[in-house]
Amino acid sequence: MARYRELVLALVAVVAITLLYGGYTQAVGVPASSGLVGHALGIIGFLLMLMTEVAYSLRKRAMRRPRGTMRAWLQLHIFTGIVGPYLVFLHSAWSFNGLAGALTLMTAVVVASGFIGRYIYTAVPRTADGMVIEAGELQLMLDAVRGEATRPATQGTEPAPVAAHRRERDTARRLRELERQMAALRWARRLLAVWHTIHIPIGMALFVMAFVHIGAAIYYATLLR
C-alpha cells in the first residue's frame, strides 16, 4: 500500500471532488467554465498542474540544502499530476470544442504519458532516499561482491564447511540481486530516454496552449466587456 500511496490519495481526492461536483450539479446545474465555480476549478487545476511541472524538477536540481526526499517529491508530483488535470477536465463543463477541447485532449495525453513514465521510473534501482543508483555504483558493488566470493572464509564459531556454504549462498544471492538491478537500470534508462523525448515536448505544448487559453479567456471575458 505504501508503494502506491500517492495513487490512493489521488483516488480519494478525485472521489471527494466528484461527490462535491455531483452534489453541486444536482442542486444548481453544470457549472459553466466562465462562471465563478468553473473559473475556480480551472485556476486550482492549472496551479496544481504548474506545481506538477515545476516543483519536482526544482527538487531534482537542488544541490544545496534540498528539502524533503526525492520519493516524497515524486509522490507529490504524481498526486498533483492527477488531481490538477481532473479539475481542469471539470472546468471544461463537458464542452470540448476549439482550443479548450484540444487542451483537454492534450491534458489527457500528458496524464496517460505520466502513468507510463511512473511505471518505467519505478523500475530504476534506488536507494532508501529515492535517489537513483548509477551504473558506476552498481558496478563497484558487483566487483566488491565478486571479490568477496574469491576470499577464503574466516573462521568463527561455526564449522568451516557450514560458514563457507552460508557465505557462498549469501554471495550468490547478492550477485543475482545486483545483476538484476544492473539489467533493470539499462532497460529503464533506454525507455526513459525515449519517454522523455515524447513526454517533455507534449508537456511544453500543453502549457503553451494553456497560457494561450488563459490569455484569451481574460481578453474576451474582461477587456471586451
In SS3 terms, 56-74 reads as: HHHHHCCCCCCCCCHHHHH
Residue spans of the domains in the chain: they are: 1-95, 134-225
C-alpha separations of 149 from 115, 139, 165 in Å: 41, 15, 11
Q: For residues 116 and 139, what is the distance between their CA atoms, to the nearest angstrom?
A: 28
Q: Which of 83-87, 183-187, 202-206 shows the highest mean pLDDT?
A: 83-87
Interval 127-181: pLDDT, tens: 544 455 555 565 666 667 666 656 655 555 455 555 555 766 666 777 677 677 7
pTM above 0.85?
A: no
C-alpha separations of 65 from 5, 62, 129, 132 in Å: 26, 7, 15, 18
| Contact call for residues 91 and 41 (beta carbons, < 8 A) | yes
Report the SS3 class of residue 170.
helix
Give percent of the chain with pLDDT exceeding 70.
67
Q: For residues 67 and 16, what is the distance between their CA atoms, to the nearest angstrom?
A: 29
Question: Can you name the residues that pair with 126 across neighbouring β-strands?
Answer: 132
Q: For residues 52 and 44, what is the distance between their CA atoms, to the nearest angstrom?
A: 12
For the chain, give the number of residues: 225
Q: Give the DSSP H/E element, type plus range, for residue 190.
A: helix 160-218
Mean pLDDT to the nearest integer, 210-220: 78
